[in-house]
Amino acid sequence: MTRRPDSRTGTTVPIEATAVRPGRRAVLVVILAGLFAVAGAATASAHGGEETTVGYVLAQQALGHLAHDTSAAGIEVAMEKVDDALETSDNAGVDIAKVQQARAALEANQVTRAQELLAQAISAAVAALPPATGMSTGTRTIEPELAGRPDAPAPSWILAIASLALLLGGSYLAYRYRPADTPAQLRRRLAQPADRDAQASREETP
Amino acid sequence: MSTLRADPAISTSPNTAATRPWWRRALDVVDDRLGITALTYPVPEHANNIAWSLGGITAAALVLLVVTGILLTQFYAPVPEEANASVRHIVTHEWGMWFVRGVHFWAAQAMYVTAALHLLRVFLTGSYKRPREGNWLIGVAMFGLVIFALFTGTVLKWDQEGYEALGHNVEVANLLGGGGLWFSPDFANRVSILIRLYSAHVVLIPGLIVVLFTLHALLVKRHRISPHPSLTADDESTDAPAAEPVEPFTHHLRRISALGLALLGALGLLAVTFPPPVGPAPVEGIEVIKPMWPFWWMFTLENWIGLSGILYGGGALFTILVALPFIDRNPHRAWRHRRVAMTIASAIVAAIIVLTILMAFTTAKTHLGM
């Protein structure tokens, strides 16, 4: 029987004894089974979806696009949504006249005016919405992005200075409390004969 | 013989008791009852290096997240009709809370980065090998929870970015069939999924992380600090060389506290300089926002092969991480003696970096409902 050295025990062991063990084989089987299950589920469950035909949602989508992109591309996509909102038959609570005015405002590149008109057009529909459950957004109004800091600059400077002081103080303390030796110094130190002997005697001790 | 560098702040010698200042004697009284000096057990000197302190820095980030998170929950309304408006109120009306929110936002990303670097360090130094396989699995589980916390935190803003992230997650859950039921809105159709994710973000995830962290720390104590492969002649050894100097564990805690202070300062500067904005309230059926950068590599895969790319990419990474200690039976810990593992890991890290960079130059595309 072929044998190989075992560094842990210092002896030789049969190669057959260290071939794929039942435990490892079981782990591999479980992993492969999991991967196949995921792959199968992904393939089997992939399905298509449909765009909404609900009028107020289409108007909200137009508002959503305009809230993120007021460039010509953003206006174009928003206009498509407005057109869909005008064409759909499911327009309960939507003021169609205002949607038409919003479309005209978009054509004239009056984005803010179009946003106001669209918000007014769907106000009755969103006011009648039940409390949001499941994946419902619960969105009533769409305000533009808000900066993450109020305008008043004074507290910001105070907080910045305090943060800088913490950063410098913490860095100084971390430097002061650093280990006595770098890894390179430790390597050299452990390579010295006295330390090697100490290490050897320690390793020989059962 | 190991050399223990003494901690002058902790001395229990009875001969010096009479000359000790009152506050040290007061500490002794506390210590008699709480056993704090048990923390002075020796750890090898290399444990105080930055690379070996990454786990501790991750824990420091967790502490910052818990403290700032508790403050934020006082003003946040976890219902869809109010969530976005309440975040705006936090930023504009509650004194200083924009800063607290900024620190929370950046601390979450710092925790993700330090946890990832900690995993990488443990991999590079072979610290996941026998007898530390179990602790590696606990660490991988905690890393998964950190990503889950990032995801749920993104959703809680209840802006377009958060809602699109949620939409992706629900679609991926659908691909998993029954396995993704909890993420389905049908799981509890009388309750908004936002409320369930809020409960996960503030109770379930941090609670699980704390439980796993406790186990993690106990197992580190049980198995001792892993050896630095370059400091020992035998890189198959499970322990640091006996000749390596040791320091009290309290020195390790002291340095992590200092690094934690520096981290807080850095996060504060980021919060002031780059405060996270609040996006418009969400609208269903549109995709206009890219996800947060830690998820970019998976979304590049999604652009290539559809929604299942997220499932395949994330699933493959975590499958490899979980299987690693069982597949890699090479007893060596030094990277020079682990060419196969190093080659595969380099390929994975390079792929994640390239996929992330690709997403940086890509605009948001529509995937949901496709």
- Which CATH entry fits the domain spanning B41-288: 1.20.810.10, 3.40.50.10470, 3.30.470.20, 3.30.450.20? 1.20.810.10
Residue B98 to residue A202, Cβ atoms within 8 A? no
> For B24-68, what is each residue's pLDDT tens digit?
899 889 999 998 888 999 999 999 999 999 999 999 999 999 999
Tell me the β-bridge partners of A5. Answer: A12
Residue A149 to residue B45, Cβ atoms within 8 A? no
Q: Which residues of A are less than 8 Å from B186 in CB distance? A: 134
Q: Where are the beta strands (DSSP E) in B228-271?
A: 246-248
Residue B312 to residue A42, Cβ atoms within 8 A? yes
Secondary structure class of A194 (helix, strand, coil): helix
**Polymer length of chain A:** 206
Q: Using an 8 Å Cβ cutoff, are B128 and B136 in contact?
A: yes
Judged against a pLDDT cut of 60, whether residue B196 lies above it is answered with yes
Secondary structure class of A14 (helix, strand, coil): strand
Position A200 scores a pLDDT of: 52
Position B174 scores a pLDDT of: 85
Residue A159 to residue B260, Cβ atoms within 8 A? no
Position B177 scores a pLDDT of: 80
Of B96, B179, B368, the CB nearest to A155: B96
> For B311-370, what is each residue's pLDDT tens digit?
999 999 999 999 999 999 899 999 889 999 999 999 999 999 999 999 988 876 655 554
B-proximal residues of A, 70-129, CB under 8 Å:
none
State whether residue A150 sits within 8 Å of chain B by CB.
yes
- Pick the residue of B99, B169, B196 with the most A CBs within 10 A to test the interface with A by mutation: B99
Residue A46 to residue B102, Cβ atoms within 8 A? no
Task: Report which secondary-structure segment, H or E, holds A3.
Answer: strand A3-5
Separation CA A95–CA A123 (nearest Å): 9
Q: Which residues of A are less than 8 Å from B370 in CB distance? A: 48-49
Q: For B92-98, which contacts have Cβ atoms below 8 Å and span 24 or more sequence positions? A: B92/A146, B92/A150, B96/A155, B96/A159, B97/B71, B97/B72, B98/A148, B98/A149, B98/A150, B98/B275
Burial class (CB in 10 A: 0-12, 13-18, 19+), B195: middle
Residue A174 to residue B308, Cβ atoms within 8 A? no
Q: Which residues of B are less than 8 Å from A131 in CB distance? A: 79, 81
Separation CA B251–CA B316 (nearest Å): 39
Residue B262 to residue A50, Cβ atoms within 8 A? no
Judged against a pLDDT cut of 80, whether residue B10 lies above it is answered with no
Low-confidence ranges of chain A (pLDDT < 70): 1-50, 152-154, 193-206
Position B341 scores a pLDDT of: 95
Token pair in block for residue A156: 């910001």
| Residue A129 Rama label (left phi>0; alpha psi -120 to 50; beta) | beta
Tell me the β-bridge partners of A4. Answer: A13
> For B202-217, what is each residue's pLDDT tens digit?
999 999 999 999 999 9
The answer to which of A142-146, A171-175, B174-178, B274-278 has the lowest mean pLDDT is: B174-178
- Pick the residue of B68, B81, B253, B317 with the most A CBs within 10 A to test the interface with A by mutation: B81
Question: What average pLDDT score do residues B247-264 get?
Answer: 96
Nearest residue on chain B to A168, judged by CA atoms? B262
Rounded to whole angstroms, what are the CA distances from A170 to B11, B106, B173, B262, B271?
26, 18, 43, 4, 18
State whether residue A204 sits within 8 Å of chain B by CB.
no
B-proximal residues of A, 35-74, CB under 8 Å:
35, 38-39, 41-43, 45-52, 57, 60-61, 63-65, 67-69
State whether residue A185 sits within 8 Å of chain B by CB.
no
Q: Which residues fall within 8 angstroms of residue B101, CB to CB, at 6 or more apart?
A: A148, B68, B72, B87, B90, B91, B271, B275, B276
Q: Which residues of B are less than 8 Å from A46 in CB distance? A: 175, 306-308
Domain ranges of chain B: 41-288
Radius of gyration of the CA atoms of chain B, in A: 23
Position B237 scores a pLDDT of: 84
State whether residue A169 sits within 8 Å of chain B by CB.
yes
Judged against a pLDDT cut of 70, whether residue B192 lies above it is answered with yes
Q: Using an 8 Å Cβ cutoff, are B51 and B248 in contact?
A: no
Q: What is the mean pLDDT of chain B?
A: 90
This complex has an ipTM of 0.87
State whether residue A187 sits within 8 Å of chain B by CB.
yes
Separation CA A34–CA A17 (nearest Å): 28
The amino acid occupying position A99 is: V
Token pair in block for residue B221: 């104590």
Instruction: Name which residue leads in pLDDT, B12 or A67.
Output: A67
Confidence band of B307 (pLDDT split at 50, 70, 90): confident
Position B368 scores a pLDDT of: 59
